[in-house]
Structure 1
């Protein structure tokens, strides 16, 4: 599987609880936080739901 780098670029303050939990599941908790993960269908779905809060780079 391909790996992707996910970086949080916007705050989760005043976001719905579902989006906050998705960000937590991705391992992001602060602006500027970066995680490298496998691009599985589950991760791709989470990325799609919070795409307005993150920046994605393919590795």
Structure 2
């Protein structure tokens, strides 16, 4: 199955509480931290909410 790697590029502070919660749900706490997920509608929706803070790589 396809996977998606998400890397936090910008700080999460100073954003809306919903965006901070989304980053926490993705498990991203520190800048340059990466997490891999199986590609699903739920994960893609979460990435869409914080797309200005993260870098996405598909594999």
Fold match, TM over 0.5? yes
Corresponding residue number in structure 1 for 2:23 = 23
Corresponding residue number in structure 2 for 1:48 = 48
**Unpaired stretches in structure 2, ≥5 consecutive residues:** none
Corresponding residue number in structure 2 for 1:35 = 35
Corresponding residue number in structure 1 for 2:7 = 7
CA distance in structure 1 between the partners assigned to 2:40 and 2:2 by the alignment: 8
CA distance in structure 2 between the partners assigned to 1:47 and 1:2 by the alignment: 15
Q: RMSD in angstroms over aligned alpha carbons?
A: 0.6
Determine helix, strand or coil for the equivalent of 2:4. Answer: strand
TM-score w.r.t. length of structure 1: 0.96
**Unpaired stretches in structure 1, ≥5 consecutive residues:** none
Query: How many equivalent residue pairs?
Result: 59
